[in-house]
Structure 1
Amino acid sequence: MTARGLLVAAPRSGSGKTTITLGLQRALARRGFRVRGLKCGPDYIDPAFHAAATAAPSANLDSYAMPDALLRQIASEAAGTADIVIAEGSMGLFDGVPGPDGHTGASADIAAFMGWPVALVVDVSGQAQTAGAVALGCMAYDRRIRIAGVILNKVASERHRRLAAAGMEKIGLPVLGALPREASLILPERHLGLVQAGETEDLHQRLDALAEAVAAAVDLDAVIAAAGATDLPAYERMATALPAPGKRLAIARDAAFSFVYPHVEAGWRALGAKLVPFSPLADEPPPESCDACWLPGGYPELHAGRLAAASRFLGGLRDFARTRPVHGECGGYMVLGRSLIDADGVRHAMAGLLSVETSFARRRMNLGYRNAVLASDGALGRAGDRLSGHEFHYATVVSPGEDPPFAMVTDPHGAAPAPAGSRSGLVSGSFFHAIAVRDR
């Protein structure tokens, strides 16, 4: 395996990791490097931006929810088809959950597991030399990892840059670059993060602008030199994250349904499944040639009126569910329910295959890892199977209905197991996004 790797991380969220990661990826690709992106943690949106920036697939690496064999496989596949891997951390570098050593979900776990040095992005707004103390703390906190250099972000002036750089010089940490405070470099956002890559206007022009800004402000040769070898033991067999729900899987795919982990789809294909996309927003029903249907998460709350009016989709989905399994994750779960209340408080009738009713008007953030034990045989496995996954949504359940639960769910923080989701006949769903079969 020849690709070198570097993890772009930061002391906290909001430091500019994604912007700088995309700029580096695009700038190196424009130099002629074969670049692959990877994302730490449970994130659907950033990998799609990585794929656009590099013209190559991206995927997630999750030290809490994924078994080591799956981590090795994803990283090995990326490194085996690239000259350099530019991975992106999540939250702060050491932020994770209670778990075994090296399996807390922290970005630092991935850096240690892969042997990749860290390029630390430090937002220096509101400070100067003190940024050196923050970086020093990151250097000393976890001896498993090595911070190879720092990229200063949101620099207000040349004097500000010199002062912040002096703080880094005092602790012996190379400054790889310094980006100015520039609003035009910020990508548009909505309630679950960035507006999705496929919906971002002039995406490639924006990526080129990021690449030019990063290339002008960052020493790309120093970044390349800072990357370390990816040295992982070969995996002996294909590690699949989840069982395939069917041989021919109808999968909703449009602006309302787009949250599918790349490693999950790759695993299904490796098991021989054929994925057949269809668009509920275009009023398309699940293809009759398929033997199972998957409604991913996404943004149905932004398209509730169109979905409620999509009679061919809803009728076809109901017909499909009479004889074949249908599963919905998060947004897909909301559409399988009786109704969805949008942000304006308007109630829209949904498929009615499950009795749950959800609301985006009555919002509450739900965020975090979940461990699920399946309550019955279904699309994701057999009763008693254990899965690791994640929730991130603002919608709430206003009426759970009368269906039995999809699973019993707990979290890494010791919460008591609680029923989650719904199932009725061949239909199931929950706010839980499955990442992998749990092995620990």
Structure 2
Amino acid sequence: MPIAIAGTHSGAGKTTVTLAILAGLRRWGVSVQSFKVGPDYIDPMFHAAVTGRPCHNLDPVLTSAEYVRSCFARHSAKAEGAVIEGVMGLFDGAGSDGFGSTAHIVRLLGKSVSAILVVDCSRMSRSLAAIVYGYHHFDADVKLAGVILNRVGSDRHREILLEAIAPLGIPVLGILTREDGIKLSDRHLGLVPTEEVANFRDIVDRLTELGQRCFDWERLMPLIKVSSTNLKQTSTPLCLDTPVRIAVARDRAFNFYYADNLELLERAGAELVYWSPLEDEKLPDRIQGLYFGGGFPEMFAAQLAENKRAIAAIAHSYNHHMPIYAECGGLMYLSQAIADFNGNEFAMVGALPTRTVMTDKLTLGYRRCLPLPPGEGLAFARSSSHQTQEFMTNAKPLRPSPTPNPQPPDRPIWGHEFHRSHQTVASDCPLHRLRDYADRDLGTEGWRGHNFWASYVHLHWGDLPTIVKGFVEAARSQTVLSSSSYN
């Protein structure tokens, strides 16, 4: 019965507790599959670095209840145990009804998952009992299998907490003291990714020691173990056609990818070839498509701008109608320039006639994306005016192409925005009209063109087979360019 690590609120210590459990299991040789509730990218990076396997997001807003169940079943069945890290507080979701919350995920997965509550005890004693009692009884369908007390200050503090909670009969599965030596750095969009944490292995070693020392494993281990008999496994059929090579930008600047998206591309017939816009001067050989995920290009803008050969290769590929899919950080990289938080400006690829400017304003939230009809936005098979713009590298203007790019589905889709930047020019060929979770109109967004999709909105492709298939098929129809032709 796998566990879902929930918190009373954001900052209660869910990530530290989850990583300590994962690290302890890994040290003991237990294969464990991790999951993350919600649209987050960075926590899953930490999970994957500890477990050695991709972490999968469980988000019924971006996908569906059916996909959440199938994703959990499919990947849990591959390991001995499963651990889900929740989002915000146990009952906090996208709206006031708690949709997409950790509690919602627990209800969706039914009796196969147990909820464990992490409580920050640093500023309380007997009040712990009232808090745990409330969380345990708030929703009859979400009962706590146990609690983990975090940031306990002293032996006496520990005694008071245990005495207070004892009458409730809810097991205490772990007690963590204040661990100043385990601090995960953050910045303007959350935690700093693992690749940029210089002492990450030291942190993992401390988490491992913490995990082995601070949990009641006799009680915890049976909860984590997976029973495959309760898991109904389904998966997307594997494409047996000749693989089509798609280059995926993956380094310190671009690392926001849902594990499911990459897996779905492969199952649709893509051979993913990873490369670095920071370090590699050439694109991978014999590619037929480019995928730029999100990340932190603003933190590495100077180094990206210095890699002029990579920029020229991307421009050449774009001008030859190679299918390109770009989200958020990828969109920023394809603009004319990025102006960082200090106002310093660095030339980027220049595919879009706009600059990207960093700002203190945070744009955050789920987005309902309404694909624009042909009368309002230009379809992928039609021309768009931004394609006549020359790259800053003096590449040739893009010419019309008969090959379609990933086609948007014929229904509204949900995505997620999370950035502190804006573009200086509005798109004349937007992808969609956006509405927030409260159904407020946010205007049009994104850039579309021949074999081209660029947007601030992150999409999870679990329930979007049209985009996956469209991207791969557009790449398959693309003439293979050797590295010598664009480098």
Q: Which residue of 1 aligns with 2:103?
A: 108
CA offsets, 1:105-155, max 9 Å, x none? 111111122231111100011111112211111111122222111111111
Give the secondary structure class of the aligned counterpart of 2:165.
Answer: helix
Q: Please say if residues 86 and 102 of structure 2, whose CA atoms lie closer than 8 Å, have aligned partners that are also in contact.
A: yes
**2 CA distance for matches of 1:227 and 1:146?**
16
Is the CA contact (8 Å cut-off) linking 1:371 and 1:409 kept in structure 2? yes
Q: 1:285 to 1:426 in 2, by over 3 A?
A: farther
Deviation of residue 412 (structure 1)?
1.8
CA contact (8 A) 1:125 1:156 kept: yes
Give the aligned partner of residue 9 of structure 2. Answer: 12
Deviates further, 11-20 or 215-224 = 215-224
Distance, in Å, in 1 between the alignment partners of 2:350 and 2:73 is 43
Identity %: 33
Question: Are 2:338 and 1:340 equivalent residues in the alignment?
Answer: yes
Aligned to 1:363, the other structure's residue is in SS state strand
Q: Is the 8 A contact 1:353 1:424 kept in 2?
A: no
Q: Residues 40 and 345 of structure 1: is their aligned pair in 2 closer, same or farther, counting only changes over 3 Å?
A: same
Q: Quick check: 1:129–1:163 contact (8 Å CA) kept in 2?
A: yes
- Relative to structure 1, the CA distance from residue 58 to residue 383 in structure 2 (aligned partners, 3 Å threshold; closer, same or farther) is closer
Summarize deviations over 1:152-195 as a string: whole Å, max 9, x none. 11111111111222222132221112111121122222222222
Whether 1:133 aligns to 2:134 is: no
- 3-state SS, counterpart of residue 441 of structure 2: coil
Letter in 2 for 1:110: I
Question: Offset at 1:351?
Answer: 1.3
CA contact (8 A) 2:253 2:296 kept: yes
Q: 1:45 touches 1:196 (CA, 8 Å); kept in 2?
A: yes
Letter in 2 for 1:421: G
Indicate yes or no: 2:25 matched with 1:36.
Answer: no
- Quote the residue 1:419 is aligned against: 444
- Alignment TM-score, normalising by the size of structure 1: 0.91
SS of the equivalent of 1:221 reads helix
Checking the alignment, whether the CA contact within 8 Å between 1:251 and 1:275 is kept in structure 2 is: yes
Secondary structure of 1:149's partner? strand
Partner of 1:392: 418
Are 1:368 and 2:365 counterparts? Answer: yes
Match of 2:277 in 1: 280
Question: How far apart are the structure 2 equivalents of 1:145 and 1:136?
Answer: 12
Contact 1:367 1:390 (C-alpha < 8 Å) held by counterparts: yes
- For residues 406 and 101 of structure 2, the distance between their equivalents in structure 1, rounded to whole angstroms, comes to 26
Partners of 2:250 and 2:451 lie apart in 1 by: 21
In 1, Cα distance between equivalents of 2:249 and 2:279: 11
**Distance apart, 1:268 and its partner CA:** 0.9
Q: Could you tell me how far apart the structure 2 residues matched to 1:81 and 1:402 are?
A: 44
- Contiguous gaps of at least 5 residues in structure 1: 241-245
**Does structure 2 retain, via aligned residues, the 8 Å contact 1:354–1:427?**
no
1:330 to 303, 324, 328: 328
CA contact (8 A) 2:119 2:149 kept: yes
The 2-side partners of 1:436 and 1:108 are apart by 23
| Structure 1 residues 371-404: Cα deviation after superposition (integer angstroms, max 9, x where no partner) | 213333364423645332211111223x124532
Question: Size of the alignment, in residue pairs?
Answer: 427
Q: Determine if the alignment matches structure 1 residue 56 to structure 2 residue 82.
A: no
Distance change in 2, residues 1:232/1:371 (3 Å)? farther
Matched, 1:122 2:113: no
Q: 2:164 aligns with which of 155, 162, 167?
A: 167
Any idea what SS the aligned residue of 2:2 has?
A: strand
Does residue 376 of structure 2 align to residue 381 of structure 1? no
Counterpart of 2:191 (choices 178, 189, 194) is: 194
Choose 1 or 2 for highest CA Rg.
Answer: 2
Deviation per residue, 1:319-373 (Å, 9 max, x gap):
101121222100110111112101210111211111222112x221111111213
Cα distance 1:232–1:55, how it changes in 2: closer, same or farther (>3 A)?
Answer: same
Structure 1 counterpart of 2:332, one-letter code: M
Report the CA distance shift for 1:150/1:313 in structure 2 as closer, same or farther (over 3 A).
Answer: same
- 1:433 alignment partner, SS class: coil
CA contact (8 A) 2:427 2:446 kept: no
